[in-house]
């Protein structure tokens, strides 16, 4: 049998509302990408994955996503998966959601099948929760990664409640330490649920900058991160800034290149062991067949 290849990609994302406290969240796509190539055939054994730049990466999420797509269509083929990413792992910038989405799109491309885009996102979110890389399934992050734009979701019901498109620049502070979602103190996070719910209501009404800033102060306090990057960004006149996911990265929304440079300079001046990146909001869907 001739082997067939498929290709996919999905973006990273920044946090508006972290869903761990209430199972309701919001996020936005950013111009950082994960790329996947999936090769399927009968003359291979099982499902195997190669992650560029990481020899001992945990590939359970990727392999399970490929397997679930093949199983959904009753296709008994083996697969080899290659992924590469601009999104640092364990940074709070949704590397797991991007990997799942990119691999699902690539697998569908390889087998020549289509499904509804929200069903594709749900598939990855279910697998993410099952293998333990996400606490809630991160449906909000997965929607932002696949659909682009600003999304508001109910993660328990896996429903998309709102989606908007905005032209911002995202300035991202990425400390060189890592913080993986599975290691988060969930009980501590859920003590702030009532206040996170107030921030979520702002997001549901499109007040994204106000929502993410309140979210940031709540989660930095609950999870033991510094609020200093947020305060520095606010001193620059930024309206929307937050801890992204469960950290350690922070993300600020700015409307001009001049403001982006000011935030970048101010964050660099803090002297943290960190990288500062500027990127555009991604407003495009990554799965053209299903959108």
pLDDT tens by residue, 73-110: 999 999 999 999 999 998 999 999 999 999 999 999 99
**Confidence at residue 13, expressed as pLDDT on a 0 to 100 scale:** 98
- Establish how many alpha carbons lie within 13 A of residue 186's alpha carbon, considering only the half-sphere containing its beta carbon: 10
Give yes or no for residue 53 having a pLDDT over 90. Answer: no
Contacting residues for 200 by C-beta, under 8 A, at least 6 apart = 17, 22, 24, 25, 26, 152, 211
Domain with CATH 3.30.230.10 in the chain: 4-164
**Residue 202 and residue 211 in contact, taking contact as beta carbons nearer than 8 Å:** yes
Nearest Cα neighbor of 156 from 142, 137, 143 is 137
Phi, psi of 214 (to 5 degrees): -65, -45
- Tens digits of residue pLDDT in 243-258: 999 999 999 999 999 9
Residue 151 pairs in a beta bridge with: 27, 163
Q: In this model, does residue 190 exceed pLDDT 80?
A: yes
Q: How many residues does the chain have?
A: 291
- Reported confidence tier of residue 261, pLDDT bands at 50, 70, 90: very high
Portions of the chain given CATH number 3.30.70.890 = 169-280
The sign of the CA dihedral 118, 120, 126, 131 is: negative
Section 262-286 average pLDDT = 97
- Measured between its terminal Cα atoms, the distance across the chain in Å is 31
Q: Quick check: 1 pLDDT over 60?
A: no
Which residues are paired to 50 by β-bridges?
A: 82
4-164: CATH topology:
Ribosomal Protein S5; domain 2 (3.30.230)
Tell whether pTM > 0.85.
yes
The confidence band for 45, taking pLDDT boundaries of 50, 70 and 90, is confident
- Please give the share of the chain, as a percent, with pLDDT higher than 90: 85
Cα(74)–Cα(68) distance, rounded to whole angstroms?
A: 10
CATH 3.30.70.890 given to domain 169-280: yes
Distances from the Cα of 225 to the Cαs of 16, 37, 234, 260, in angstroms? 17, 36, 17, 23
């Amino acid at each position: 049998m001739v082997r067939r290849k498929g290709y996919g990609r999905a973006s990273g994302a920044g946090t508006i509302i972290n869903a761990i406290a209430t199972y309701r969240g919001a996020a936005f796509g950013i111009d950082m990408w994960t790329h996947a190539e999936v090769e399927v055939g009968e003359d291979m054994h099982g499902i195997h994955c190669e992650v560029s730049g990481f020899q001992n990466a945990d590939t359970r999420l990727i392999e399970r996503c490929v397997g679930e797509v093949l199983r959904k269509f009753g296709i008994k083929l083996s697969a080899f998966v290659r992924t590469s990413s601009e999104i640092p792992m364990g940074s709070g910038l949704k590397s797991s959601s991007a990997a799942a989405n990119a691999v699902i799109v690539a697998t569908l491309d390889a087998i020549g099948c289509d499904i509804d885009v929200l069903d594709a996102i749900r598939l990855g979110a279910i697998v993410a929760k099952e293998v333990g890389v996400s606490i809630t399934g991160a449906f909000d992050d997965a929607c932002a990664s696949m659909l682009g734009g600003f999304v508001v979701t109910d993660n328990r019901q896996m429903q998309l409640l709102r989606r908007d498109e905005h032209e911002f620049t995202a300035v991202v502070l990425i400390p060189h330490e890592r913080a993986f979602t599975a290691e988060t103190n969930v009980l501590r996070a859920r003590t702030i649920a009532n206040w996170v719910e107030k921030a979520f209501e702002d997001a549901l009404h499109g007040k994204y900058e106000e929502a993410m800033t309140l979210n940031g102060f709540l989660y930095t306090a609950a999870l033991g991160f510094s609020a200093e990057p947020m305060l520095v960004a606010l001193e620059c006149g930024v309206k929307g800034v937050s801890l992204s996911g469960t950290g350690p990265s922070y993300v600020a929304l700015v409307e001009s290149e001049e403001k982006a440079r000011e935030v970048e300079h101010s964050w660099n001046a803090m002297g943290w062991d960190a990288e500062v990146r500027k990127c555009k909001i991604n407003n495009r869907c990554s799965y053209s067949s299903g959108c």
